[in-house]
Amino acid sequence: MLIDFWPCVQLIKTNRFAATKKTTTFVTAQKYILPFLMPTLNPDDSIFNQLETFGHKKVVFCSDPDTGLKAIIAIHDTTLGPALGGTRMWAYRNETDALHDVLRLSKSMTYKSAIAGLNLGGGKAVIIGDSRKDKTEALLRKFGRFIKNLNGEFITAVDVGTNPKDMEYIKMETQHVMGVPESIGGSGDPTPIAALGVFMGIKACVKELYGNDTLTGKTIIVQGIGHVGENLVKLLRDENAKVYISDINEELLGQVAKKYGAEAVSTNSIFDIDADIYAPCALGATVNTQTIKKLKCGIIAGSANNQLEDEEVHGQMLLEKGVLFAPDYVINAGGIINCYSELMGFSKKRTMQLTENIYEATRNVLRLSKAENISTIVAANKIAEKRISDIKKVKSTY
């Protein structure tokens, strides 16, 4: 029986969405306590307290000494559908860091799918280990078996430290995996779609600030020209925007600058440039007290996850400074849209349509932020939470 090889602890609590003292309670659609996405975690808290703080439904600890597998699968919310989220492989300093990361990431997946209008819940998995040294076929296939045992409640995909080949191994054990190569029926590389979503988000912000959404003549700094960044540079240059690029990889910087006619700038000078838009496409937390003070642009919109160092503090600072911030999880949903499309039976046309909807989703966030004089991140959280709350009520009737 499958359960025989399932030496894991399952911590299950009822599906009570974010109803804790530190987060939001759904009372009515209009009446919210200010919703902030990420509660502060107290590492000394018990695991159950941490789950309550984040509002998680279920967390599965996967252990297999034979393959060296140590993984955590976190299912945050399944009101809208199965929890879909990538599997990250990372050499965490300790298990507490791994748990915190998976709780944080899975919760943000709930919001990302909700605001993108997808019928998906939020989940994420982390495998503790060095992806360059510790990854083996057996470890990944064993991990696939743990996913299989969740019977479709959790569906995984690629994340930091994993790649489409790894998903192929997981797929040998379970169907509940997306982002496999096109050659075996998957949706292939999601990064052009992710870049298109960011591009639509940028356009929505430009429309809000300038009255039309043309990027011709606008100046944009793209920080990080990796998979998403380079595709974004292409879209921006195709619309005749002036593009500055920065990356710690000097060789790549030179290549991309030449290929698209962009201007390469050093990493430490980007906040001195007088540009219209800053597009962070490298790391999180680049928007903080120091950089906001220096920032000259009127729009921040990029792919990097968790761009605000502190959502509450820096979201508010941007509001007060009059800088339009497109919340990252709203505009970087192209990757998850690609996976959703694969789940539904991949269609390029449908994927593009769903991704283009990011324009309207961003406009809605900006409108709510303006109407209620709240930061855009709070506005986005409210919209995502309202959709989950509404659909929960719909599903309560047989």
Positions annotated as catalytic residues are: 124
Q: Which is nearer to ligand NAD, 8 or 295 (CB)?
A: 295
Taking contact as CB under 6 A, which single stretch among the options 34-42, 126-134, 278-286, 289-297 is the one that binds ligand NAD?
Answer: 278-286
Angle made by CA atoms 130, 124, 168, in degrees to the nearest 5: 65
Angle made by CA atoms 226, 228, 232, in degrees to the nearest 5: 110
Q: Which is nearer to ligand NAD, 225 or 326 (CB)?
A: 225
From residue 224, how far is each of 334, 337, 389 by CA, in Å?
17, 22, 36
Q: With binding defined as CB under 6 A, does residue 269 bind ligand NAD? A: no
Q: With binding defined as CB under 6 A, does residue 361 bind ligand NAD? A: no
Q: To the nearest whole angstrom, how small is the minimum distance from the Cβ of residue 85 to ligand NAD?
A: 11
Q: To the nearest whole angstrom, how small is the minimum distance from the Cβ of residue 188 to ligand NAD?
A: 12
Cα–Cα distance between 391 and 137 in angstroms, integer? 39
Could you say which DSSP state residue 373 is in?
A: T
Candidates 190, 298, 315, 327; binder of ligand NAD (CB under 6 A) is 190
Q: With binding defined as CB under 6 A, does residue 266 bind ligand NAD? A: no
Q: Which is nearer to ligand NAD, 89 or 150 (CB)?
A: 89
Q: Which is nearer to ligand NAD, 248 or 344 (CB)?
A: 248
Q: With binding defined as CB under 6 A, does residue 347 bind ligand NAD? A: no
Report whether 136 contacts 358 (CB < 8 A): no
Within the chain, where are the H helices? 47-54, 95-115, 137-148, 164-171, 191-210, 227-238, 250-260, 289-294, 311-321, 328-331, 334-343, 348-356, 358-372, 376-395
Local structure of 75: helix, strand or coil: strand
Q: With binding defined as CB under 6 A, does residue 317 bind ligand NAD? A: no
Q: With binding defined as CB under 6 A, does residue 224 bind ligand NAD? A: yes
Site for ligand NAD in 236-265 (CB under 6 A): 246-249, 252
Helix (H) or strand (E) holding 58: strand 58-64
Candidates 332, 355, 375, 389; binder of ligand NAD (CB under 6 A) is 332
Strand order in the sheet with 121-128: 9-12, 58-64, 69-77, 121-128, 83-90, 154-158
Q: With binding defined as CB under 6 A, does residue 178 bind ligand NAD? A: no
- Residue 235: count of CB within 10 angstroms of its CB: 20
Cα–Cα distance between 247 and 251 in angstroms, integer? 9
Angle made by CA atoms 145, 146, 151, in degrees to the nearest 5: 90
Taking contact as CB under 6 A, which single stretch among the options 59-67, 97-105, 226-234, 356-364 is the one that binds ligand NAD?
Answer: 226-234
Cα–Cα distance between 198 and 354 in angstroms, integer? 13
Candidates 281, 301, 324, 377; binder of ligand NAD (CB under 6 A) is 281
Name beta bridge partners: 148.
none
Q: With binding defined as CB under 6 A, does residue 267 bind ligand NAD? A: yes
Taking contact as CB under 6 A, which single stretch among the options 64-72, 89-97, 130-138, 275-283 is the one that binds ligand NAD?
Answer: 275-283
Could you say which DSSP state residue 393 is in?
A: H
Q: Which is nearer to ligand NAD, 150 or 265 (CB)?
A: 265
Candidates 100, 227, 234, 370; binder of ligand NAD (CB under 6 A) is 227
Q: With binding defined as CB under 6 A, does residue 27 bind ligand NAD? A: no
Q: Which is nearer to ligand NAD, 228 or 380 (CB)?
A: 228
Site for ligand NAD in 192-221 (CB under 6 A): 194
Cα–Cα distance between 212 and 209 in angstroms, integer? 8
Q: Which is nearer to ligand NAD, 121 or 224 (CB)?
A: 224
- Residue 50: count of CB within 10 angstroms of its CB: 20
Taking contact as CB under 6 A, which single stretch among the options 113-121, 133-141, 202-210, 279-287 is the one that binds ligand NAD?
Answer: 279-287
Taking contact as CB under 6 A, which single stretch among the options 204-212, 298-306, 348-356, 372-380 is the one that binds ligand NAD?
Answer: 298-306
Q: To the nearest whole angstrom, how small is the minimum distance from the Cβ of residue 49 to ligand NAD?
A: 28
Q: Which is nearer to ligand NAD, 50 or 108 (CB)?
A: 108
From residue 125, how far is each of 67, 85, 215, 228, 375 by CA, in Å?
17, 7, 38, 22, 30
Cα–Cα distance between 12 and 123 in angstroms, integer? 14
Binding-residue total with ligand NAD (CB under 6 A)? 24
Contact residues for ligand NAD, defined by CB under 6 A: 190-191, 194, 223-229, 246-249, 252, 267, 281-283, 303-305, 332, 335
